[in-house]
Structure 1
Amino acid sequence: MQPHASEAASPGPPVPPPRRRLADRALDAVERIGNALPDPLTLFLLLAALVVVASALAARAGVVVTHPSTGAAIGAVDLTSPDGLRRMLTEAVKNFTAFPPLGTVLVTVIGVGVAERSGLFDAALRQLVTVVPPWALTATLLFAGVNSSAAADAGIVVLPPLGAMLFAGLGRHPLAGLTAAFAGVCGGFGANVLITSLDPLLAGLTESAAQLVDPHYRVEATASYYFMNASTFLLTAVGTFVNARWVEPRFGAFTPPPAPDTASPPAPPAPSTDPPALARLAPRERRGLLVAGAVLLAYLAILAALVIPAHGFLRDPQGGFKPFFDSIVLLITLAFFLPGLAHGVTTGTIRSDRDVASMIAATLGTMGGYVALAFVAAQFVAYFSWSNLGLILAVKGAGALSRLGLTDIPLLVGFVLLSAILNLFLASASAKWAVMAAVFVPMLMLLGYSPETAQAAYRVGDAFTNAVTPLMPYFPLILAYAQRYDPRCRLGTILSATVPYSIAFGIAWTAMMVVWIVLDLPWGPGAPIHYTPARPPPALLAPGP
């Protein structure tokens, strides 16, 4: 029976919009709050002023703590004193030129700029979309990001913009690719299938703290290798799920800006672009890729010959890899510059040395905003260090946790959380561990846990909040990359995309650590979970200040 015409024409009750999930509403709130923050340059300027004021208040209140390793008294330094004000004026330029991210970024983008503007990136990315299945792209990007700590800080300069280009090449939102790479590089920092420069650095600090209990205890650079290797695959899987479940649906479809800056990367295609058509290369581009690939292989072969032999040019007299790690930024720059140069000469985009100079100048010209921000950020970092507020915060936090009376797994989980919270304010992994190791390594040894266990727990907490702190020196660079695709993008937009990664990484990684301990698996070669102290000194169990 057909309905009456008037009944068919009459509208039904209004359909309510679909109810948004609690997680989406929470991320909306994060985005609103983050976008309400001032520009990053202003934010760092305000934070620098806040540190100056806080240093004066803490110094006048007589805040003093005892360094748990050296026993030295650490007091707050008043930056409003004549000496403090004089230092802020006389060392401003030094703070800027010594700011570690500045040199890394500017040197790396020299090579990246030649590779991009010669057309190598464009051709390689168009070819890559035919090689990597779309379903594997996110996992590939995250896996590369997590392992990028082997390249020091260069990974954060290179991978996020590449992630954005790769996603755009498949018609996906470039900011989803950018934030996935950023989360992998930062949130998975320390996890790796290789031994990196961070491993011996932390192992040395752990060994020094362990020898407060056992003067003969040794901690090797491989102390966390099994755990960090397995963590790489865990974080890749978790990050891939987070991207598919929350991040990419949140960004939705992408519409390229109508008039992109000529200095920006090539305009990404609209979502309707057919990837196979996008991937077609001209014959000269194929030749350029082949020549660039041959140059890269030759470069890597030469590099291997300088690094692998025990007495290689990039090894120290003891056979260590310190010269290699110290030169890694320049080596990575060359790994982009030389293939980019070869591709440009082969395809005709580079016809003289003037073309190369112009490419480098144009690329560095796009970094003006970041250079200005780096000046202010460098002052904030220097003031925070001069005031001793960071060390005081770390010692106070360690002492507070030690006084809670937690033991075993709850203590380790609490230690992870404390490390994660401190990581929001103190970027240096070694600086925090120098303080915290002296408290927690002896404490856990006397509870029957090895120094390697303390180090593994610290490395979990020190990583997963990296991607959600605007105080991270590279965060403004990520924002600058994002604004190439969406000029309206603000801090809140990036934070709302990285918070899900941070939470998921923290939960999954901590759970993996607990399971590892319960199963009594070694952290690395000769690195057990448990330790039986030879002579327990009760004084070391006393809570710190």
Structure 2
Amino acid sequence: MATEKQKNSGRFAWFLNGIEKVGNKLPDPFILFFYLALIIIVLSWFISLFNVSFIQPGEEEVLYIKSLISVEGLEFILTSMLDNFVGFKPLGLVLAMMIGIGLADKVGLLETAIKSTIIKAPKSLITYAVIFTGIMGNIASDAAFVIVPPLAAIVFYNVGRHPLAGLAAGFAGVGSGFTANLMITGTDALLSGISTEVMESLGSDIVVTPVDNWYFMIASVFILSIVGAFVTDKIVEPRLGTYKGEAGRVFEKVTPLELKALKRATFVGIIYIAFLIIVISIPNSPLRNEDGGLVPSLFLDGIIPFIIFFFLAVAITYGMTTKKIESSRSIGEMIGEAMKDMSGFIVLIFTAAQFIAYFSWTNIGTWIAVSGANALESIGLTGITVILGFVLFTAILNLFIFSGSAQWALEAPIFVKLFYFLDYHPAFVQVAYRIADSSTNVITPMNPYIMIVLSFMRDYDKKAGIGTLMALMLPYSVFFLLTWIVLLLLFVFLGIPFGPGVTVHL
């Protein structure tokens, strides 16, 4: 066993142990998603027998549950299989990111950087630093799912702590804290744009801007960092016990040559960033939008290539200095080795992509969302309780629909309209949506990055399964959601603006 678990008392620990035990009895994720795809096929056929129909929010279009056991369904299954796989966005993102990050890892740059920075920090601050880094990582969008968790595991291992606790903390910061940031990001622009479109459809001149949730998100970064560190240190890591495995990478002392190479790589990295800043600052820069702003812009849309080129530049500089890169052939070989490490993830994604595509094509997810929204509206809640009901509904719905923008595009036409007639500001409704949507990101099977995190886990514990991951991440989801609800209520009752001039009511 890679882990010598401590005995845990208390109902919550007993509950988590039960989740792990039951979850680990499930089939391998590759087979599990195959079974889930079969279930969707049968379920779509069964529901379609009742001619279920509903109105598509925002488009006022009548939709039906489409059966995969039909001529149309069979055609979709056979003709979309390859497109579902190769067109699966996280697959391309992960493999592309591994070109840069994988090379940086193989030449030893990441190891030297960690040894020279994070590991030297006081141990009491490491957990906070990991959670904070994960939350701030959404500047790089989904790329943070690939970068932060494995590095966090390495850091924990080399300071004598359980690597799975580090991985869980990194994943929680990136996933459950995804919507928070100290800066305005693409998420702010995307969601506010959807909210504004809904208000325009109502004939209102209210505009939701990217900064309308800024104050709340700034506060969220620091509070969630504290809460995430508490969950890691007091719940997750004690439950894991003492790590006994030998799979972790043990860091040796930094050599003078490695330090010299790190300094050169840092210099190149600074030059690269400075060049980008200069290009962005040029009047009428093509990396800005038509109004001269950055949210949205070509720069943010192309952030992944910029990150890849950054890692390539610093990795090649480091490798050439340490003589690990002796020719252009060395670069290709090392990137190839990094890609080999992703083979398990590629296999898992094949069936996961089919399941998610089937679920979307049948309209079952949209039907669940619309039915739930109608049920919530029919309850007739008033005051802040209706907002809390909306938060809980969204958190549950996120288990079926993993995409912040897609889910908001589905919910906004329903709930922004509903709450507008109750005199709630659309930006406030948007905040309530964001905290719920982010909190359950790390426990939804619809999150494709769960597969890559699980593959990272197995580097340290070969027996780790879906149950292990769910038991690790559930405390973060629960505590982040509860903390965010309390913070939301504090902003409401203390009259704190959620952004410049944005309060609860219009």
- The answer to whether 1:530 aligns with 2:479 is no
Q: Which residue of 2 aligns with 1:366?
A: 341
Rounded Cα–Cα distance in structure 1 between residues aligned with 2:352 and 2:291: 37
Tell me which residue corresponds to 2:265: 292
Superposition map of 1:144-543 within 5 A: 144-257=133-246, 260=247, 267-269=248-250, 280-321=253-294, 322-531=297-506
SS in 1 for 2:442: helix
Tell me if structure 2 keeps the 8 A contact 1:130–1:279. Answer: no
Return the alpha-carbon distance in structure 1 between the equivalents of residues 243 and 20 of structure 2. 18
Partner of 2:3: none
8 A contact 1:224–1:523 mirrored in 2: yes
Q: Shift of residue 426 of structure 1? A: 0.4
Report the secondary structure of 2:242's partner residue: coil
Whether the 8 Å CA contact 2:149–2:166 is kept in 1: the answer is yes
Q: Does 1:70 pair with 2:59?
A: yes
* Partner Cα distance (1:117, 1:427) in 2: 32
| Structure 2 equivalent of residue 111 of structure 1 | 100
Match of 1:52 in 2: 41
Larger Rg: 1
Report the AA paired with residue 135 of structure 1. Answer: S
Q: State how far apart, in whole Å, the 2-side matches of 1:141 and 1:279 are.
A: 22
SS at 2:228's partner residue?
helix
Could you tell me whether the CA contact under 8 Å between 2:119 and 2:159 is conserved in 1?
no
Range that drifts further, 498-507 or 334-343: 334-343
Contact 1:164–1:175 at 8 Å: present in 2 too?
Answer: yes
**Residue 73 of structure 1: SS of its match in structure 2?**
strand
Question: After alignment, is 508-517 or 311-320 more displaced?
Answer: 311-320
Q: In structure 2, give the amino acid aligned to 1:441.
A: V
Between 339-348 and 441-450, the greater mean CA deviation after superposition: 441-450
C-alpha deviations, 1:42-76, integer Å up to 9, x for none? Answer: 11111111111111112221111112322111111
Root-mean-square deviation (CA, aligned residues, Å) is 1.6
Give the aligned length. 499
- Whether the aligned pair in 2 keeps the contact of 1:212 and 1:442 (CA below 8 Å) is no
Q: TM-score, normalised by structure 2?
A: 0.96
Q: Please, what TM-score do these two structures have when normalized by structure 1?
A: 0.89
| Partner residue, 1:9 | none
1:355-388 alpha-carbon deviations (Å, 9 max, x no partner): 1111100110111111111121111111111111
8 A Cα contact 2:19 2:471, kept in partner: yes
Once the two structures are TM-superposed, the CA of residue 214 in structure 1 deviates from its matched residue by 4.2
State the one-letter code of the partner of 1:331. F
Counterpart Cα distance in 1 of 2:119 and 2:356: 44
**Alpha-carbon distance between aligned partners in 2 of 1:18 and 1:356, rounded to the nearest angstrom:** 47
Question: Is the 8 Å Cα contact of residues 129 and 169 (structure 1) preserved in structure 2?
Answer: no
SS at match of 1:417: helix
Q: 1:427 to 1:129 in 2, by over 3 A?
A: closer
Q: What residue identity is the alignment partner of 2:76?
A: R
The answer (yes or no) to whether the contact 2:8–2:14 under 8 Å persists in 1 is no
Segment drifting more, 81-90 vs 309-318: 309-318
Contact 2:402 2:444 in 1 (8 A): no
Gap regions ≥5 residues in structure 2? 1-5
> How much has 1:310 moved relative to structure 2?
5.0
SS in 2 for 1:463: helix
1:65 is paired with a residue whose SS is strand
Q: Residues of 1 paired with 2:7 and 2:470: CA distance?
A: 25
Cα distance change, pair 245–82 in 1 and its aligned pair in 2 (3 A): same
Letter of the structure 2 residue corresponding to residue 362 of structure 1: E
Rounded to whole Å, the distance in 2 between the matches of 1:211 and 1:195 is 23
Q: Percent identity?
A: 38
